[in-house]
């Protein structure tokens, strides 16, 4: 093995060296072209190399790149907070800026606990979550994550916060169908609260569409209304983890808008900087911030680079770009177009079990036997094989669990930049078809 000084994700030497990106395409140093069918990790929402963003970067760098958050605020941070408040529903008016989705989730969790403390209630410290979920890699966020594979090594250090099943209609544990099922998987929250005691629970957190742990598992329409009602009735805050879904990915600025639920707290990341800067945020509603403002006036979270002016200016430029080019309003129709083409592939390949998702966040689950939904054996490494084959053909897709238990099952996420054109969608699907054809031949 050639000597390297970098710890690469897989510790091997097969990662190509990137050269540059433009639109939905990436080019490596060997001159190979890739269609970015996953926006990296569902991040590059406006595509690569957008000149307006590069200009905004330069403009901000000429003024100031860094100030410490307790010494100065900046025009970029103030304007970004105002923009986010104007783009999000309800009165989610307060932004706490951090640098990654994991930090946003950690901050959301701390805000929820602090909210109750400032109201004089010290016992509400648990934040419940669902199995088959991913909320981040730091220990607090990992405690919330119902992703058995990512938890495994650290279990003794983690809290047991995942307590209920996800809304995984393809493999419903009750063998029922929505909406006649009565959303029993959401009702599980009521039972969990009774067992644990609402006096111990600060909040419940969920992803609107389950990403890395489940391959775009999408809740049926009224699911989150049931969840929010249970939270409200038990004095428990509802945190939406919109790190993956936020800022247009599913066809609305927040995915929760489509579920007609306004969360108390929202975690944002990925699409906020669209890969041009590390930036994320926890948003709090007036209700949540009120006792904090009336009390200690300090949110007990923060990082050296929180509200970094450079990152804030970039995020502001990304959000303005989304708005100016009316990108989000086209996501639903682009998503439908992509979904319909993928459904045609489902008819051709028996190893495609389910195709699901919302907007341009779609998932494909692979099974050994479509009729019985039998998963492939874990050691067959199906997801890894398909991802590698696609990459060989010049297509990037994102690996995910299939939601069976966060480890078993195979699925990929297809989530190209929101700026993708119709003909690029066709190219993406044709590369995917070639990949599946190759995989089909390998299986014989
Ligand atoms: N929350 C969700 C829903 C995510 O998908 C992710 C990352 O995939 C995170 C949180 C963690 O974000 P980050 O990797 O930026 O720390």
Digit-coded pLDDT (tens) for 307-354? 999 999 999 999 999 999 999 999 999 999 999 999 999 999 999 999
pTM tops 0.90, yes or no: yes
156 contacts: CB under 8 Å, gap ≥ 6: none
* C-beta of 39 in contact with ligand 1 (< 6 A): no
* C-beta of 135 in contact with ligand 1 (< 6 A): yes
Between the CA of 244 and the centroid of ligand 1 the distance, in Å, is 7
Looking at the DSSP bridge assignments, the partners of residue 206 are 240
pLDDT number for residue 402: 80
What b/e string do you get for 276-314 counting C-beta neighbours within 10 Å, with b at 16 or more?
A: bbbbbbbbbbeebbebbeeeeeebebbeebbbbbbbbbb
For the segment 391-438, what is each residue's pLDDT rounded down to a tens digit? 999 999 999 988 787 667 999 999 999 999 999 999 999 999 999 999
Between the CA of 294 and the centroid of ligand 1 the distance, in Å, is 31
Between the CA of 103 and the centroid of ligand 1 the distance, in Å, is 9
User: Would you say the C-alpha torsion 140, 144, 149, 154 has a positive or negative sign?
Assistant: positive
For the segment 180-234, what is each residue's pLDDT rounded down to a tens digit? 999 999 999 999 999 999 999 999 999 999 999 999 999 999 999 999 999 999 9
Distance CA 411, CA 433 (A): 15
Residue 144 half-sphere exposure toward CB, CA atoms < 13 A? 30
Looking at the DSSP bridge assignments, the partners of residue 96 are 282
225 contacts: CB under 8 Å, gap ≥ 6: 259, 260, 261
For the segment 261-289, what is each residue's pLDDT rounded down to a tens digit? 999 999 999 999 999 999 999 999 999 99
Closest by CA to 171, choosing from 406, 443, 412, 415, is 406
Residue 1 pLDDT level (bands cut at 50, 70, 90): very low
């Amino acid at each position: 093995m050639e000597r390297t000084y970098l710890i690469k994700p897989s510790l091997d030497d097969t990662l190509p060296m990137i050269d540059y990106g433009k639109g939905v395409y990436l080019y490596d140093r060997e001159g190979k072209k890739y269609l970015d069918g996953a926006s990296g990790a569902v991040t590059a929402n406006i595509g690569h190399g957008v000149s307006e963003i590069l200009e905004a970067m330069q403009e901000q760098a000429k003024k100031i790149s860094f100030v410490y958050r307790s010494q100065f605020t900046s025009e970029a941070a103030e304007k970004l907070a105002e923009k986010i408040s104007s783009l999000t529903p309800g009165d989610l008016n307060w932004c706490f800026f951090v640098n990654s989705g994991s930090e946003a989730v950690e901050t959301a969790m701390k805000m929820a606990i602090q909210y109750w403390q400032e109201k004089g209630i010290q016992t509400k410290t648990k934040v419940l979550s669902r199995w088959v979920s991913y909320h981040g890699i730091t220990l607090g966020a990992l405690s919330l994550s119902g992703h058995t594979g990512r938890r495994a090594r650290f279990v003794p250090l983690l809290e047991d916060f995942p307590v209920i099943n996800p809304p995984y209609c393809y493999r419903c544990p009750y063998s029922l169908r929505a909406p006649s099922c009565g959303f029993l998987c959401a009702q599980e929250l009521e039972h969990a609260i009774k067992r644990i005691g609402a006096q111990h629970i600060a909040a419940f957190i969920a992803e609107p569409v389950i990403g890395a742990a489940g391959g775009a598992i999408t809740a049926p329409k009224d699911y989150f209304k049931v969840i929010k009602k249970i939270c409200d009735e038990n004095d428990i805050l509802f945190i939406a983890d919109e790190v993956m879904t936020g800022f247009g990915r599913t066809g609305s600025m927040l995915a929760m808008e489509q579920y007609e639920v306004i969360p108390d707290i929202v975690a944002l990341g990925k699409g906020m900087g669209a890969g041009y800067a590390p930036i994320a945020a926890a948003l709090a509603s007036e209700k949540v911030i009120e006792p904090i403002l009336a009390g200690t006036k300090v949110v007990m979270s923060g990082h050296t680079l929180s509200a970094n002016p450079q990152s804030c200016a970039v995020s502001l430029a990304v959000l303005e770009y989304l708005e100016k080019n009316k990108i989000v309003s086209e996501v639903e129709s682009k998503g439908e177009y992509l979904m319909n083409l993928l459904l045609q592939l489902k008819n051709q390949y028996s190893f495609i079990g389910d195709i699901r998702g919302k907007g341009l966040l779609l998932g494909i689950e692979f099974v050994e036997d479509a009729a019985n939904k039998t998963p492939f054996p874990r050691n067959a490494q199906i997801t890894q094989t398909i991802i590698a084959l696609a990459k060989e053909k010049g297509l990037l897709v994102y690996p995910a669990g299939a939601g069976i238990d966060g480890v078993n099952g195979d699925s990929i996420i297809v989530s190209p930049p929101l700026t993708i054109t119709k003909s690029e969608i066709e190219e993406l699907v044709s590369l995917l078809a070639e990949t599946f054809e190759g995989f089909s031949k390998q299986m014989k």
